[in-house]
């Protein structure tokens, strides 16, 4: 909360700083072109919801941003710094991409908590072993974060003993532990039982209210409409339509988006 | 752990009584008077068996990690030699490997003056370096194959998560990939280590004095056949049991995976 209120006055005179910029992003898997030139910009504090049918390339786009997928061509700029790319699209400078990745925390559809470590160990892993934070400090912070996502008291539990919703909240705590400048959510509730979706969305909603920069690939249209300040609709690897949620959902222009919205209810 | 109630089943009691009678019969009607004379040698042999086992499994496992990793993800110029090595080791008898090293390599070395004059020569003249090398390579060959599967079996998402947080590749290997791979194959490794224990008597054929060769010595000195062999069997069973227990404890400390 402090962040948002403290940052607000500065935002008035000059434009907000750019967090993520994607330019003319292409990605092919073999002969299949999944992304056909996508442009996207997220300012700091933006919550961008990316929607679209399956196979529209939304997850691939998100994964190209931190180079979990190698783009075929295009340009990725994170916090004003362009990621150096080789001709084949792979990161040219391993050190640079590792440094940039530490600022972009990702939350996966399948949670991907490290199964051989307890929740606390999961949360302190990157701060201690990548960011070289002193361990006691990392532990203290991890306890706060776990408590914040409603997992206080579960520090010493292994992921396998938790429900999907709990695992995903722990994964969010793990992402917050690196103090990311932007968070990438890749369908964070798609693998959850319906009754567990709410608890995860509540946590994400709090983060949005806090002014965190987020890119959110989601199938939860109601949720996207509620938390996002910008919605992007992808269709077959292109941005078909984008704008403020009220317009994209309330007054869709393209036929495909209209169809998509009516099909997902 | 088996509860007392389970142990008190009739068939179990019968087996235990039979076993106790067998032990009693062994103690009373067999000859054990040779033991005091050979005890010091037997202890030495036991120690040799244990350290050869420990050193060869440890070094063998260290070798198995790169052998498995290169086969799992390495470029062809690393994975092909690794696969060839594992195939040869697993496809030939250990006895043959021990002999090829000891009688083959061991008899080539003295022909080179620079080897004879080297610091290593005092060791290369003995039998144990060849025994340890052969057992190490054998364990590496088998476990290299096991580790290949182990590395491949770690869920991709686990590594992707590490990557997405900017974890450098070696840190990812050390903190995530290797521990999960080992955790996946711990029961196999326990069994393989017991097999390795039971492969150690083969080094007696190249004059290494370990526990099996001591029992042979007793037999040829005293013409007592069964008693040393029975005791030898007991010794191997106890060591195998301890290895099994150690791995079991280790496994119990690992969490369940979903």
pLDDT in tens, A148-166: 999 999 999 999 999 999 9
Evaluate if residue A12 carries a pLDDT over 60.
no
Tally of domains in chain A: 1
Q: Is B212 exposed, middle or buried (0-12, 13-18, 19+ CB in 10 A)?
A: buried
How large is the C-alpha radius of gyration of chain B? Answer: 23
Whether the pLDDT of residue A58 is over 90: the answer is: yes
pLDDT at B153: 94
Question: For residue range B138-171, what is the model confidence (pLDDT) as tens digits?
Answer: 999 999 999 999 999 999 999 999 999 999 999 9
Residue A21 lies in a domain: no
Q: Residue B140 and residue B58: Cα distance in Å, rounded?
A: 9
**pLDDT value at residue A6:** 47
Within 13 Å and on the Cβ side, how many CA atoms surround B103?
10
Supply the pLDDT for residue B5: 80
What is residue A159's DSSP assignment?
A: G
Q: Is A89 inside a domain boundary? A: no
Cα→Cα distances B174→B143, B153, B170, B179, Å: 18, 16, 6, 7
Nearest residue in chain A measured CA to CA from B155: A112
Predicted local confidence at residue A90, as pLDDT = 87
* ipTM higher than threshold 0.85: yes
For an interface test with B, give the residue of A104, A112, A168, A176 to mutate (most B CBs within 10 A): A112
Instruction: For residue B184, give the chain A residue with the closest CA.
Output: A116
| Residue extents of the structural domains in chain B | 55-200
Q: Look over chain A and give the mean of its residue pLDDT values, rounded to a whole number.
A: 91
Give the ranges where chain A is alpha helix by DSSP (H).
Answer: 2-11, 58-65, 94-101, 119-129, 135-148, 164-176, 194-209, 221-227, 245-250, 255-264
**Token pair belonging to B194:** 């017991």
User: Is there a contact between B179 and B150 (Cβ–Cβ < 8 Å)?
Assistant: no
Strand partners, A85: A91
Distance CA A203, CA A205 (A): 5
Cβ–Cβ below 8 Å for A114 and B167: no
Residue-range definition of the domain harbouring residue A191: 2-10+38-58+101-264
CA distances from A109 to A67, A173, B119, B151 (A): 17, 15, 59, 23
A125: CATH: 3.40.50.300
Q: Is residue A49 part of a domain?
A: yes
Predicted structure pTM score: 0.87
Contact list in B for residue A191 (CB cut-off 8 A) is none
Is pLDDT at B234 greater than 60 in this prediction?
yes
Q: Residue A169 burial by CB count (10 A; 0-12/13-18/19+): exposed, middle or buried?
A: buried
Give B55-200's CATH code, choosing from 3.40.50.720, 3.30.70.1230, 1.10.150.120, 1.10.3720.10: 1.10.3720.10
* Mean residue pLDDT across chain B: 93
Calculate the alpha carbon distances from B123 to A27, B129, B209 in Å: 60, 7, 16
* pLDDT tens, residue by residue, A82-118: 999 998 888 899 999 999 999 999 999 999 999 999 9
Q: Is the pLDDT assigned to residue A1 strictly greater than 70?
A: no
Chain B hits for A114, CB-CB cut-off 8 Å, are 158, 161-162, 176, 180
Distance CA B21, CA B108 (A): 54
Residue A34: the pLDDT is 94
Residue A28 placed within a domain: no
Is A26 within the bounds of a domain? no
For B20-42, the pLDDT digits (tens) are 999 999 889 899 999 999 999 99
Residues of B in Cβ contact (< 8 Å) with A126: 165-167
């Amino acid at each position: 909360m402090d962040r948002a209120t403290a940052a607000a006055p500065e935002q008035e005179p000059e434009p907000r700083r750019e967090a993520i910029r994607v330019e003319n992003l292409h990605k092919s898997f073999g002969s299949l072109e999944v992304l056909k030139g996508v442009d996207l910009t997220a300012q700091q504090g933006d919550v961008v919801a990316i929607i679209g049918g399956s196979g529209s390339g939304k997850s691939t786009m998100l994964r190209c941003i931190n180079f979990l997928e190698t783009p075929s061509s295009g340009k990725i700029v994170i916090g004003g710094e362009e990621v150096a790319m080789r001709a084949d699209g792979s990161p040219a400078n391993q050190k640079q991409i590792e440094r940039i990745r530490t600022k972009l925390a990702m939350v996966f559809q399948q949670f991907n908590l490290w199964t051989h470590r307890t929740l606390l160990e999961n949360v302190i892993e990157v701060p201690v072993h990548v960011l070289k934070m002193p361990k006691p400090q990392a532990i203290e912070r991890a306890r706060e974060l776990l408590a914040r996502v409603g997992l206080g008291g579960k520090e010493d539990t292994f992921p396998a003993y938790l429900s999907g919703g709990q695992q995903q909240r722990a994964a969010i705590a793990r992402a917050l532990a690196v103090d990311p400048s932007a968070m990438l959510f890749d369908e964070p509730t798609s693998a959850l039982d319906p009754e567990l979706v709410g608890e995860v969305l509540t946590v994400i909603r709090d983060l949005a209210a806090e002014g965190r920069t987020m890119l959110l690939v989601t199938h939860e249209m109601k949720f996207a409409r509620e938390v996002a300040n910008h919605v992007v609709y992808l269709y077959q690897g292109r941005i078909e339509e984008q704008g403020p949620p009220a317009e994209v959902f309330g007054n869709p222009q393209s036929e495909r988006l209209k169809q998509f919205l009516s099909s997902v209810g | 752990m088996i509860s007392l109630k389970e142990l008190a089943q009739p068939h179990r009691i019968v087996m235990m009584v039979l076993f106790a009678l067998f032990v009693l019969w062994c103690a009373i009607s067999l000859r054990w008077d040779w033991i005091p004379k050979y005890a010091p040698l037997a202890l030495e042999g036991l120690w040799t068996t244990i350290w050869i086992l420990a050193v060869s499994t440890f070094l063998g496992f260290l070798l198995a990690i790169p052998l498995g990793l290169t086969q799992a993800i390495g470029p062809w110029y690393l994975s092909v030699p690794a696969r060839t090595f594992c195939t040869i080791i697993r496809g030939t008898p250990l006895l043959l490997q021990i002999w090829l090293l000891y009688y083959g390599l061991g008899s080539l070395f003295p022909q080179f003056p620079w080897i004879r004059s080297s610091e290593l020569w005092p060791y290369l003249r003995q039998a144990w370096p060849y025994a340890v090398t052969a057992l190490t390579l054998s364990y590496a060959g088998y476990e290299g194959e096991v580790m290949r599967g182990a590395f491949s079996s770690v869920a991709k998402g686990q590594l992707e998560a590490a990557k997405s947080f900017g974890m450098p590749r070696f840190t990812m290997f050390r903190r995530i990939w290797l521990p999960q791979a080992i955790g996946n194959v711990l029961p196999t490794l326990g069994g393989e280590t017991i097999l390795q224990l039971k492969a150690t008597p083969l080094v007696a054929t190249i004059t290494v004095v370990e526990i099996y060769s001591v029992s042979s010595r007793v037999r040829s000195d005293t013409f007592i056949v069964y008693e040393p062999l029975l005791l030898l069997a007991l010794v191997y069973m106890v060591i195998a049991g301890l290895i099994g227990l150690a791995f079991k404890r280790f496994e119990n400390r690992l969490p369940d995976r979903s």
